[in-house]
């Protein structure tokens, strides 16, 4: 496995299978009394988060601690060009303390890649702007695979604000890599620029019509409609979005009862996903959370435990 | 603990010929290993039968016994012992597996390997007599890792060790309670165990 | 060579790449062209070199006052001289902004003191570049700096009414507004990557070509309406070229410039999120690059201007979206244009002289520059070795900054000597 996990492009389908197998074992550790494995004892992992996130950060923190690593949380200052330290100076300060891994979340796309060129530590991208969130995609795929058996040939439908979603970008790469057929659905204003060209090259499909696509879905992934990222003009009103693209009760009925429903969270109940859908028996949203720790343990283990890892 | 022959299809860098430390659990490999056979299928069967009787003798029956095989080949061996105990005592002894990949003391010397499956029987190991089962006892590091692993799972009353082959050259003060065959070997020699559950041949070879 | 030789002979140069001959320079003026008597003159051997008139850059950022850590008028002048320039127009987005006569004179005087190129300050169109009230355009023109070109570059004069007034106002003294065409609602301050497949995939805020085109289209209509002239800075899209062609066919007084980097580099270079390639307007796809080359060759685009934009290292060492916009360009401009346009046969050296010397001087109204290699012209001369095979080393640059997109690339042509009114500023490829 490569030294960094910046993008799903950094892992092969075999790497992913290995991560999933390890994650399955890590899942069992979560149920024990003594939730500890010594594999990363003596390693130091810094969670460097420039953007708020309780969920992902605590997930990585727990994962590191259960592997006996020393994990430390640092809140990076919001990026500001004219005042304060450059990003490089900031990470070099931390990087020169001899840390083994940097789990980084930043509001700028590409920040994790840039940082990986400046530090010796392994860099794990915990979300860079609207670009990627590889550990999320891995835990999503892992959760779906546990439910469906295999993702090969399965039809996974993703609905939401694609333009601003790093979860979408990582997931589409991950799911197609695992052999799934992916259709992404959004209103035209929320489709990323150049998506027609990109989807053709990457092998996924696009649609503006969620009702046409849902009946053939084997799994559904609802993406958060990110109010805070938008400044006007993407859709007229929340209710119009819900009627056009939300997973309402009526749309829930279009899905077979065995079709798992995912959401990376946090959810806007009533906007992109009805409460009934979020709480339905077929929802795997809570499974995603517990999978998150197991998958992140597997990622940390494979990147740091053996020879050829940082430090 | 079986060792990899040089022509293994899934090589781990620690298992090169001449490697003196314990090789990690080997994946199934096709064909007969090199060298001469020291235990054939029937020898293995007899050894396991004897080990099963010894376990019952030492424990004065099957009460509170738990068998934990160390992957890979310790697991089918543990299952075979459990079958024999069931045939003799009429009792189903709990059987499970204990993977020690994450507890190895030489983790940092190789690229990280994925762990194999750990299955602790539903009754757990607290207050039990756990018999660890493995194919080859060599440096003792695997067993030491297994003891560390068990520490995080529970607190057995007693821990014993049953191995199919003891080839000597201990690095740690560890000994087996039940041994199928003592096989004095040079450090340069390779001992290969094959079991029908995982491999297409069965026996123990030394080369 | 003595400081300012009274008599100088440039011997055996290929004049504008056409005929081989000598140039006789007396007291800073070309007095003879052809086969000259070099008695009593200092001789520069130009055998195998192409002689062009000194280059004129319509668009440079010298950063002084305010960001002397990135560049000063002195270091910027050095970079210009090394690149074969004898005059540069220094953009107004300094700190403080060049929006008064005093500020313009300050920059002008710094240029005179540096003494390597003619530094002509560009005046801001609006006070503080805020886009609301006109700056003291007339006073800047009347000052020692004699400002004629005005630009809010860095920012767009977005309010159509302000742009209209500015276009009208400068008619009184033959001024010209150079517009950084970027509609701020279509491409806001975070926009940093050509809007297309790459920006979508990389998650970078898109800068669609149409944000430039709507402003260019608007401004040519305003120029027509006001009977004034407008200049389009750093044209970057095929759509802009279309608008320019139409406007010129209508007799509208519009001129345009293109940067060397927009003639060669494409948006694909952003795939690694390297801020070295972050520039405004952004690098575009190959279709736009080809359209710009064609437009430069056929005159739809009038001039090459570098938009030399030095930045201190730490201003680029940010996440891509946060890093400063801009690339160095003075030292390499001629080499890039030679490779892209001359070596490919799309332009001759004479054409290069037109787009990098004569026309920019005419747009800026410079009397002492861009007069070609004629008898009676000021001796602003650059000697180019067309087969130098120069590999760019960013650390060897005379600019203070290192944000150089050309590092490691090899170019055929390189400047060997530059003369400012007969005085050598660069000889044998190095500053004198």
Provide, as residue numbers in chain A, all residues whose Cβ is less than 8 Å from the Cβ of C319: 79, 87, 106-111, 114, 129
Bridge partners of A283? A261
Whether C370 is covered by a domain: the verdict is no
Domain membership flag for residue C369: no
pLDDT band at B29 (very low <50, low <70, confident <90, very high): low
- Is position A281 within any domain? yes
Determine, yes or no, domain membership for A311.
Answer: no
Based on the fold, state whether residues C197 and C287 are members of the same structural domain: yes
Put simply, the answer to whether A194 touches C317 (Cβ < 8 Å) is no
Do A293 and A143 contact (CB within 8 A), yes or no?
A: no
C334 domain-assigned: yes
Q: How confident is the model at residue B20 (pLDDT cuts 50, 70, 90)?
A: very low
Same domain, C172 and C80: yes
CA distance C199 to C207: 9
Residue of chain C nearest A167, judged by CA positions: C203
Q: What are phi and psi of C256, to 5 degrees?
A: -150, 155
Chain A CB contacts of B154 under 8 Å are 33
Residue B4 has pLDDT above 70, yes or no: no
Q: Shortest CA distance to C17 belongs to which of C341, C334, C348?
A: C348
- Would residue C294 count as lying in a domain? yes
Q: Are residues C295 and C421 in the same domain?
A: no
The domain of C418 spans 7-50+377-431
Q: Is residue C196 part of a domain?
A: yes
Specify whether A242 is located in the same domain as A263: yes
A105 plus A152 within the same structural domain = no
C304 shares a domain with C158: yes
Same domain, A259 and A140: yes
Q: What is the mean pLDDT of chain C?
A: 97
Angle at A54 between CA A48 and CA A55, to 5 degrees: 105
C199 min Cα distance to partner chain A (Å): 7
Which residues 61-80 in chain A show a CB within 8 A of chain C?
Answer: 79-80
Cβ atoms of C295 and C371 closer than 8 Å: no
Shared-domain flag, residues A59 and A85: yes
Which residues from A are below 8 Å from B151, CB to CB? 34
Put simply, the chain A residues between 40 and 99 with a CB less than 8 A from any chain B CB are 67
CATH label of the domain that carries residue C162: 3.20.20.140
Q: Give the residues of chain A that fall short of pLDDT 70.
A: 78-83, 226-231, 308-311
Contact B112 A306 (CB under 8 A): yes
Question: What is the enclosing helix (H) or strand (E) of C9?
Answer: strand C7-15
Rg (CA), chain B: 16
**Residue-level pLDDT at C309:** 98
Give yes or no: residues A210 and A191 share one domain: yes
Q: Which residues pair with B193 in a beta bridge?
A: B204
Rounded to whole angstroms, the Cα distance separating C414 from C407 reads: 15
Distance CA A52, CA A107 (A): 9
DSSP H helices, C89-179, are 101-114, 137-142, 160-169
Instruction: Give the separation between CA B156 and CA B159, rounded to whole angstroms.
Output: 7
User: Which chains have at least 3 CB atom pairs separated by less than 8 Å from chain B?
Assistant: A
The residue of chain A nearest to residue B124, with distances taken between CA atoms, is A32
Instruction: Give the residue from chain A lying closest to C270, CA to CA.
Output: A110
> Regarding predicted confidence, which is higher, B12 or B89?
B89
Same domain, C295 and C269: yes
Give C377's contacts (C-beta < 8 A, 6+ positions apart).
C29, C30, C53, C371
Residue A284 sits in the same domain as residue A141: yes
Q: Which residues contact A141 (CB under 8 A, 6 or more apart)?
A: A16, A20, A151, A171, A174, A175, A178
Q: Which residue of A has its CA nearest to C322?
A: A81
Are the beta carbons of C204 and A88 separated by less than 8 Å? no
User: Which one of C317, C334, C364 terminates a domain?
Assistant: C364
- Chain A / chain B CB contacts < 8 angstroms: 54
pTM of the model: 0.89
Q: Rounded distance, CA C55 to CA C356, Å?
A: 5
Torsional class of C154: left (φ above 0), alpha (ψ -120 to 50), beta (otherwise): left
Residues C184 and C241 in one domain: yes
* C371 belongs to a structural domain: no
Classify residue A297: in a domain, yes or no. yes
| Shortest distance, CA B13 to any CA of chain A (angstroms) | 10
> For chain C, what's the residue count?
432
* Percentage of residues of chain C with pLDDT beyond 70: 99
**Spatial distance between the Cα atoms of C193 and C277, rounded to a whole number of angstroms:** 10
Per DSSP bridges, beta strands A101-106 and C414-420 are unpaired
Distance of CA A225 to the CA centre of its chain: 15
Residue B60 in this model has a pLDDT that exceeds 70 = yes
Domain that holds residue A90: 8-133+291-304
Residues A82 and A179 in one domain: no
Q: Check CB contact under 8 Å for C200 and A193.
A: yes
* Torsion C420-C424-C427-C431 (CA) sign: negative
Asked if the C-beta of A257 comes within 8 angstroms of chain B's C-beta atoms, the answer is no
Q: What pLDDT does B28 receive?
A: 64
Burial class of residue C79 in the structure, from the number of CB atoms within 10 Å of its CB (0-12 exposed, 13-18 middle, 19+ buried) = buried
Give the DSSP letter string of A217-242: -SEEEEPP--GGG--S-S-S-HHHHH
Beta strands in B24-183 (DSSP E): 36-39, 65-69, 95-97, 129-137, 158-166, 178-182
A14 touches chain B (CB under 8 A): no
Is A21 in Cβ contact with B152 (below 8 Å)?
Answer: no
Report d(CA C238, CA C292) in Å as an integer. 7
Q: Which chains touch A (3 or more CB pairs under 8 A)?
A: B, C
Structure confidence at residue C250 (pLDDT): 98
- Picking from A18, A33, A36, the nearest residue to B114 by CB comes out as A18
Q: And the tokens for B25?
A: 């659990």
- Cα–Cα distance between B8 and B30 in angstroms, integer? 9
Q: Phi/psi of residue C281, each to 5°?
A: -70, 160
- CB atoms near residue C287 (< 10 Å): 12
- Best of A118, A132, A193 to mutate (most C CBs within 10 Å, chain C): A193
Q: Do C320 and A169 touch (CB under 8 A)?
A: no
Chain C contact present for A237, CB below 8 A:
no
Helix-strand-coil percent breakdown of chain B, rounded to 5? 25, 20, 50
Residues C203 and C287 in one domain: yes
3-state DSSP assignment of residue B42:
helix
Provide the percentage of residues in chain C whose pLDDT is more than 90.
Answer: 98
Distance from CA of C208 to the nearest CA of A (A): 10
Q: Pick the residue of C194, C203, C320, C402 with the most A CBs within 10 A to test the interface with A by mutation.
A: C203
Verify whether residue C385 is a known catalytic residue. Answer: no
Question: Is residue B19 very low, low, confident or very high in pLDDT (cuts 50, 70, 90)?
Answer: very low
- C-alpha to C-alpha distances, C431 to C23, C115, C143, C398, nearest whole angstrom: 21, 12, 31, 9
Distance from CA of C187 to the nearest CA of A (A): 13
Tell me if there are at least 3 CB pairs under 8 Å linking chains B and C.
Answer: no
Same domain, yes or no: A262 and A150 = yes
C201 vs chain A: nearest CA distance in angstroms?
A: 7
Same domain for C327 and C397, yes or no, is no
Residue at C287 is within a domain: yes
pLDDT at B3: 44
B117 to chain A, closest Cα gap in Å: 6
pLDDT, tens digit, 9 for 90 and up, residues C18-77 = 999 999 999 999 999 999 998 899 999 999 999 999 999 999 999 999 999 999 999 999
Looking at the structure, do residues A251 and A177 belong to the same domain, yes or no? yes
Q: Do B111 and A307 touch (CB under 8 A)?
A: yes
In chain A, which residues have their Cβ closer than 8 Å to the Cβ of C200? Answer: 163, 192-195, 198
Whether C277 and C337 share a structural domain: yes
B13 vs A contacts (CB less than 8 Å): 307
CATH code, domain with A144 = 3.40.50.1370
- The total of structural domains in chain A comes to 2
Same domain, A110 and A242: no
**Assigned domain for A98 exists:** yes
Pairing of strands A122-128, A101-106: parallel
Are residues A100 and A113 part of one domain?
yes
**The one catalytic residue among C307, C315, C351, C385:** C307
Neighbours of C242 (CB within 10 A): 16
- Of A25, A32, A306, nearest to B115 by CB-CB distance is A25
For chain B, say whether A30 makes contact (Cβ under 8 Å).
no
Give residue A82's pLDDT.
42
Confirm whether A89 is domain-assigned: yes
| CB-based contact A305 B114, cutoff 8 Å | no
3-state secondary structure of C394: helix
Q: Centre a 10 Å sphere on the Cβ of residue C174 and count the other Cβ atoms it contains.
A: 11
* pLDDT per position as a tens digit, C165-202: 999 999 999 999 999 999 999 999 999 999 999 999 99
Domain count of the fold of chain C: 2
CA distances from C316 to B35, C93, C309, C311 (A): 64, 18, 12, 7
For the stretch A146-188, pLDDT in tens is 999 999 999 999 999 999 999 999 999 999 999 999 999 999 9
Give yes or no for a contact between B106 and B71, defined as CB atoms under 8 angstroms apart.
no
CA–CA gap between residue C34 and residue B111 (Å, rounded): 74
Low-confidence ranges of chain C (pLDDT < 50): none
Same domain, C394 and C281: no
- Which parts of chain A are beta strand (E)? 44-49, 70-75, 101-106, 122-128, 155-159, 181-185, 205-207, 219-222, 261-262
Write down the residue that tokens 């004219």 correspond to.
A82
Asked whether the beta carbons of C252 and C275 are under 8 A apart, the reply is no
Q: Is the pLDDT of residue B1 over 50?
A: no
Claim to verify: residue C279 and residue C354 sit in the same structural domain: yes
* Rounded Cα–Cα distance for residues C412 and C390 (Å): 6
Rounded to a whole number of angstroms, the distance from the CA of B110 to the nearest CA of chain A is 5
Mutate to test the interface with A, among B16, B99, B114, B149 (most CBs of A within 10 A): B114
Question: Cα-flanking dihedrals φ and ψ of residue A125, to 5°?
Answer: -80, 110
Which residues of chain A are within 8 Å of residue C274 when distances are taken between CB atoms?
114
Q: Which two tokens stand for residue C108?
A: 């002008």
Closest Cα to residue A87, out of A64, A61, A110, A57? Answer: A110
Q: Which residues contact A31 (CB under 8 A, 6 or more apart)?
A: none
Q: How confident is the model at residue B27 (pLDDT cuts 50, 70, 90)?
A: low
Q: Which of B107, B117, B154 shows the shortest C-beta gap to A305?
A: B107
A32 and A116, same domain (yes or no): yes
Q: Do B118 and A18 touch (CB under 8 A)?
A: no
| CA dist., res. A234 & res. B43, Å (int) | 76
The string of pLDDT tens digits covering residues C136-145 is: 999 999 999 9
Closest to A111 (Cβ–Cβ): which among C198, C208, C319? Answer: C319
Q: Give domain status of residue C2, yes or no.
A: no
At C1 the pLDDT is 59
DSSP state for residue A130 in the 8-state scheme: T
With a CB cutoff of 8 Å and minimum separation 6, the contacts of A68 are: A36, A37, A38, A39, A40, A41
pLDDT, tens only, C216-231: 999 999 999 999 999 9
On whether both C120 and C219 belong to a single domain, the answer is yes
Residues B109-123 have a mean pLDDT of 91
């Amino acid at each position: 496995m490569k030294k960094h996990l910046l993008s799903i492009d950094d892992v092969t389908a075999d790497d992913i299978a290995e991560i999933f197998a390890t994650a399955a074992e890590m899942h069992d550790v979560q149920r024990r009394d003594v939730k500890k494995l010594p594999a990363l004892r003596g390693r130091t992992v810094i969670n460097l988060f420039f953007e708020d996130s309780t969920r992902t950060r605590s997930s990585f923190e727990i994962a590191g601690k259960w592997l006996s690593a020393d994990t430390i949380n640092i809140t990076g200052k919001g990026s500001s060009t004219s005042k304060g330290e450059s990003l490089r100076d900031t990470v070099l300060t931390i990087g020169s303390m001899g840390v083994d891994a940097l789990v980084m979340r930043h509001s700028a796309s590409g920040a994790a890649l840039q940082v990986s060129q400046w530090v010796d530590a392994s860099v794990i991208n915990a979300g860079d702007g609207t670009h990627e969130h590889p550990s999320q995609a891995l835990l999503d795929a892992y959760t779906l695979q546990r439910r469906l058996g295999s993702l090969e040939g399965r039809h996974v439908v993703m609905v939401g604000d694609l333009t601003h979603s790093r979860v979408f970008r990582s997931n589409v790469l991950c799911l197609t890599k695992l052999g799934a057929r992916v259709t992404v659905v959004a209103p035209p204003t929320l489709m990323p620029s150049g998506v027609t060209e990109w989807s053709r090259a990457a092998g996924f499909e696009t649609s503006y019509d969620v009702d046409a696509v849902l009946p053939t879905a084997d799994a559904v992934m609802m993406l958060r409609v990110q109010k805070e990222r938008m400044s006007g003009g993407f859709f007229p009103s929340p209710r119009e979005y819900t009627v056009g693209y939300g997973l309402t009760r009526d749309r829930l009925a279009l899905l077979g009862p065995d079709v798992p429903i995912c959401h990376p969270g946090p959810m806007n109940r009533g906007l992109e996903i009805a409460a009934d859908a979020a709480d339905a028996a077929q929802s795997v949203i809570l499974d995603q959370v517990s999978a998150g720790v197991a998958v992140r343990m597997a990622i940390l283990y494979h990147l740091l435990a053996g020879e050829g890892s940082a430090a | 603990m079986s060792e990899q022959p040089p022509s293994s299809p899934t090589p781990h860098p620690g298992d090169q010929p001449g490697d003196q430390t314990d090789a990690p659990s080997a994946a199934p490999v096709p064909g007969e290993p090199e060298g001469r056979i020291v235990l054939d299928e029937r020898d293995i069967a007899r050894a396991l039968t004897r080990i099963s009787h010894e376990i019952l003798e030492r424990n004065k029956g099957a009460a509170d016994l738990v068998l934990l095989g160390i992957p890979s080949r310790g697991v089918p061996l543990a299952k075979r012992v459990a079958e024999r105990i069931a045939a003799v005592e009429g009792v189903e002894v709990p059987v499970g597996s204990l993977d020690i990949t994450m507890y190895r003391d030489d983790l940092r010397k190789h690229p990280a390997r994925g762990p194999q499956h750990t299955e602790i029987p539903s009754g757990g190991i607290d207050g039990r007599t756990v018999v660890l089962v493995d194919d080859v006892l060599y440096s003792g590091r695997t067993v030491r890792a297994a003891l560390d692993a068990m520490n995080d799972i529970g607190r057995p009353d007693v821990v014993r060790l049953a191995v199919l082959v003891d080839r000597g050259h201990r690095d740690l003060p560890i000994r087996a309670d039940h041994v199928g065959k003592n096989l004095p070997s040079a450090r340069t020699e390779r001992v290969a165990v094959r079991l029908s559950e995982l491999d297409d041949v069965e026996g123990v070879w030394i080369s | 060579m003595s400081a300012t030789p009274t008599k100088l002979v440039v011997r055996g140069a290929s004049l504008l790449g056409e005929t081989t001959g000598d140039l006789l320079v007396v007291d800073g003026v070309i007095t003879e062209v052809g086969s000259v008597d070099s008695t009593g003159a200092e001789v520069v051997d130009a055998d195998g070199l192409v002689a062009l008139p000194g280059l004129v850059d319509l668009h440079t950022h010298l950063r002084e006052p305010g960001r002397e850590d990135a560049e000063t008028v002195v270091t910027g002048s050095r970079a210009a001289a090394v690149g074969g320039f004898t005059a540069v127009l220094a953009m107004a987005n300094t700190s403080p902004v060049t929006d008064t006569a005093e500020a313009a004179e300050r920059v002008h005087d710094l240029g005179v003191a540096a003494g390597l190129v003619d530094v002509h300050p560009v005046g801001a169109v609006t006070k503080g570049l805020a886009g609301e009230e006109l700056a003291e355009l007339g006073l800047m023109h009347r000052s020692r700096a004699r400002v004629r070109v005005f630009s809010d570059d860095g920012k767009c004069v977005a309010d159509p009414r302000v742009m209209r007034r500015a276009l009208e106002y400068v008619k009184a003294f033959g001024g010209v507004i150079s517009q950084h065409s970027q509609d701020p609602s279509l491409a806001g301050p975070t926009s940093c990557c050509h809007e297309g497949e790459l920006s979508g995939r990389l998650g970078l805020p898109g800068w669609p070509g149409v944000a430039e085109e709507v402003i260019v289209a608007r401004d040519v209509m305003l120029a027509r309406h006001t009977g004034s002239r407008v200049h389009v800075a750093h044209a970057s899209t095929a759509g802009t070229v279309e608008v320019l062609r139409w406007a010129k066919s209508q007799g509208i007084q519009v001129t345009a410039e293109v940067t060397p980097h927009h003639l060669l580099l494409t948006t694909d270079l952003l795939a690694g999120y390297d801020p070295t390639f972050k520039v405004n307007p952004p690098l575009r796809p190959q279709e736009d690059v080809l359209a710009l080359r064609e437009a430069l060759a056929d005159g739809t685009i009038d001039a090459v201007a570098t938009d030399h934009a030095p930045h201190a290292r730490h201003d680029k060492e940010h996440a891509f979206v946060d890093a400063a916009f801009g690339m160095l360009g003075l030292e390499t401009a001629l080499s890039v244009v030679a490779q892209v346009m001359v070596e490919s046969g799309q332009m001759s050296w004479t054409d290069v002289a037109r787009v990098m010397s004569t026309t920019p001087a005419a747009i800026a109204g410079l009397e002492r520059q861009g007069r070609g290699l004629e008898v009676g012209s000021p001796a602003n001369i650059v000697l180019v070795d067309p087969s130098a095979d120069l590999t760019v080393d960013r650390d060897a640059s005379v600019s203070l900054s290192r944000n150089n997109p050309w590092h490691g690339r090899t170019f055929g042509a390189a400047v060997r000597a530059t003369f400012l009114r007969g005085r050598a500023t660069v000889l044998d490829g190095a500053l004198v």
